[in-house]
Structure formats: structure tokens, C-alpha cells
């Protein structure tokens, strides 16, 4: 028999017959990861009753020993998930993760309270803490892979978080603000169509809250206006922006943003005039005389006193003979 094989059998038999206690067992705690727990130290913080274990977590949290508080609180949730102390323990888990700068994990931990312990006394505090976490990502906080490795921010994260907050309670106090932030995240992402949809949802759903509706209308108009700046010859977006800003000015005349909205309406109309003039030139270049005259007339209707209106009149007069020839 191979000597190496015999040696391995002897070693295996020794391990089996003479077990020993590891001086530092490896233990995993969600949010904290793997850590070594030297033999004997667990006796210092582990308890046999849920209440006593929660007390350990509470005391550790008070002195900002978030690692110990996290372990103790998580043990309550894991060992006694149906006890009266589990909701508070889950709340401490989330608070510790947030204090350690692990905001995505903290958001998910808070979400577990909403899903598993909806009658928790910390419910209102939980949803506002979720809102503040999402807002930090909206303002540029870098997410962390596995809670440790930072990577460039993406607006999908706050948009998803704010959307989850709204889904949790569409008519809670925080929901209208979260719905607006969904639009803000999509607007930063330059997904103006999704931003408009989010703002429209806020305006429709929270009609009884004038401050929310005013903000939603204004932001919706801004999203349309930004989209109009990238829409080329598509004048429909500019028209939507003008209509939305007009509603905003009409329904909320005392809002401090009205003067700026009015200036934007003027600028958008000028943009429409220029856009229609360019479309008319396009048709004229390709000898589509009827189409060219239609858009030159549109310029006159939008702003008869503009510089483009004067040019449009000249072009209409110049095209009349061609129109008569094509008619014959």
C-alpha cells in the first residue's frame, strides 16, 4: 500500500478519534460578514432569552458599538423570529447597518420590518429613514458592492428605492414626496419620458395636496422642456411643455416659479416658431411646395411679429407661382 495513502488514513483517524475545539470559530452575520469569535467570548454577549439578548443589543447600540449591537440584534431575529422583541431587533439591525455606512443593506433591512412586522412601533420612522437613504443616493452617494466596494452611482437605485417606498404605502405621508423623487431620479438620468410619467402620477394621485400638485406640474413642464431641446423637428413635446406650464401658471398664479415658467413658455414658443420654419425649409428644399407653405403659415400663426414670420411671408409669396403651376 502507498505510504502516503497510509499516512492520510492515520491522520484522518486521529482527527476523528481526538476531536478538538477550534479556538476561533468562523461566524457569519448579515451586514457584518464573516468574523472569528474566540472561544469563550460568546458567553459575554449571547443570552438564552430574547429579551436579555435584545438588552445586549440596546446597550451596545447606545455606546455605538455597532458590530456587537448588530450581532446581538441579529441573533434575536434569527433565534426568536416570532417573539415580541423581533421587530425592535430588526430595527436595530437596520440602524446599525445605516450607522456603518451600508445604506443599501440598511434599506433592505428596513424593508423587512415593513414586510414582516407592519405593526412595528417604529414603522413611521422606518419609512422616513428609507426615504433619507434613497435621497442620499439621489444626491450622488456611491453604492457599495457587498456593502464594501464602492462603484459609480446610477439613478436606477434611488428611482427603485423611492418606487418601493410608494408601493409600501401609496397614501402615507412620505409617499407623495417619494413619488416626486422618482421623477427627479429619471430626470437626472435624462429619461424625460419616464420623469413625465412619474410627475403625472404624483399630480393625479395627490390632487388633494396643492403643494405636491404644483411641484409635480412644474417639474413635468421642465421635463417636457428638456426633452423638447433634444427632440429635433418634433414639435409635439414643446407643445406639451407649453400646455403644462400654462396649467401651472393658471392654477397656481402665486407660486414663486410662475415668472420663470412664463419665460419658458415664451422661449418654447420661439423654439416652435424656429422649428416650424426649419421644417418648411426642409420641404422647400425637396420641392414639396404644399408642405412648405403649410409650415410657413404655422410660423405666422404662432408668432406673426417674429423675425421668422417676416421671412415666412417672403417665402410664401415666392412659392405662390410654383403652387399655381403644380395645381395646373
- Determine the distance from the C-alpha atom of residue 165 to the mean position of all C-alpha atoms in its chain, rounded to a whole number: 10
pLDDT in the model for residue 19: 46
User: How does the average pLDDT of the chain come out, rounded?
Assistant: 87
Angle at 305 between CA 298 and CA 224, to 5 degrees: 55
Sign of the four-CA dihedral 91, 70, 163, 225: positive
Classify each residue of 47-83 as buried b or exposed e, where b means 16 or more C-beta atoms within 10 Å of its C-beta.
Answer: beebeebbebbeebbeeebbebbbbbbbbbbebbeeb
The share of the chain scoring above pLDDT 70, in percent, equals 84
120: burial class by Cβ within 10 Å (0-12, 13-18, 19+)?
A: middle
Euclidean distance between CA atoms 309 and 298, whole angstroms: 9
User: Is 308:302 a contact under the CB 8 Å cutoff?
Assistant: no
Confidence check: pLDDT of 29 > 90 = no
All cell numbers assigned to 259: 415668472
Does this model's pTM top 0.85?
A: no
Domain boundaries along the sequence of the chain: 190-255
Confidence check: pLDDT of 187 > 80 = yes
Beta-sheet strands, E only, within the chain: 26-29, 33-36, 144-145, 149-150
| Site of grid cell 431587533 | 89
84: burial class by Cβ within 10 Å (0-12, 13-18, 19+)?
A: exposed
Mean pLDDT calculated for residue range 299-314 = 85
User: Is 192:227 a contact under the CB 8 Å cutoff?
Assistant: yes
Confidence check: pLDDT of 92 > 70 = yes
Sign of the four-CA dihedral 187, 191, 196, 202: negative
Give the least confident one: 200-204, 266-270, 302-306.
Answer: 302-306
pLDDT in the model for residue 298: 83
| Site of grid cell 422649428 | 275
Instruction: Reduce the secondary structure of 94-115 to three states and give it as a string.
Output: HHHHHHCCCHHHHHHHHHHHHH
pLDDT digits (tens, 9 = 90+) for 131-164: 999 999 999 999 988 878 888 999 999 999 999 9
Confidence check: pLDDT of 30 > 50 = yes
Confidence check: pLDDT of 289 > 70 = yes
Amino acid at each position: 500500500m502507498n505510504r502516503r495513502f497510509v499516512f492520510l488514513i492515520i491522520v484522518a483517524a486521529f482527527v476523528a478519534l481526538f476531536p478538538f475545539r477550534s479556538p476561533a470559530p468562523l461566524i457569519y452575520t448579515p451586514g457584518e460578514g464573516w468574523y472569528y469569535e474566540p472561544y469563550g467570548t460568546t458567553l459575554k454577549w449571547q443570552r438564552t432569552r430574547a429579551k436579555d439578548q435584545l438588552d445586549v443589543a440596546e446597550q451596545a447600540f447606545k455606546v455605538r458599538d455597532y458590530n456587537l449591537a448588530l450581532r446581538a440584534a441579529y441573533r434575536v431575529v434569527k433565534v426568536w423570529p416570532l417573539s415580541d422583541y423581533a421587530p425592535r431587533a430588526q430595527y436595530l439591525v437596520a440602524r446599525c447597518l445605516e450607522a456603518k455606512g451600508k445604506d443599501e443593506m440598511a434599506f433592505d433591512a428596513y424593508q423587512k420590518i415593513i414586510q414582516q412586522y407592519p405593526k412595528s412601533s417604529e414603522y413611521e420612522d422606518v419609512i422616513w429613514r428609507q426615504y433619507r437613504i434613497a435621497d442620499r443616493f439621489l444626491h450622488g452617494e456611491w453604492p457599495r458592492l457587498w456593502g464594501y466596494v464602492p462603484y459609480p452611482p446610477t439613478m436606477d437605485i434611488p428611482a427603485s428605492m423611492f418606487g418601493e417606498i410608494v408601493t409600501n404605502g401609496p397614501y402615507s405621508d412620505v409617499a407623495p414626496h417619494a413619488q416626486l423623487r422618482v421623477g427627479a431620479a429619471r430626470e437626472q438620468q435624462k429619461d424625460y419620458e419616464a420623469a413625465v410619467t412619474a410627475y403625472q402620477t404624483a399630480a393625479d394621485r395627490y390632487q388633494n395636496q396643492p403643494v405636491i400638485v404644483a411641484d409635480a406640474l412644474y417639474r413635468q413642464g421642465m421635463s417636457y422642456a428638456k426633452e423638447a431641446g433634444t427632440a429635433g423637428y418634433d414639435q409635439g413635446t414643446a407643445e406639451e411643455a407649453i400646455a403644462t406650464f400654462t396649467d401651472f401658471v393658471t392654477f397656481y398664479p402665486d407660486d414663486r416659479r410662475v415668472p420663470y415658467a412664463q419665460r419658458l413658455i415664451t422661449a418654447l414658443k420661439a423654439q416652435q416658431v424656429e422649428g416650424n420654419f426649419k421644417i418648411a425649409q426642409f420641404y422647400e428644399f425637396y420641392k414639396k411646395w404644399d408642405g412648405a407653405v403649410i409650415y410657413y403659415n404655422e410660423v405666422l400663426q404662432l408668432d406673426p411679429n417674429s423675425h421668422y414670420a417676416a421671412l415666412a411671408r417672403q417665402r410664401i409669396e415666392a412659392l405662390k407661382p410654383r403652387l399655381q403651376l403644380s395645381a395646373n
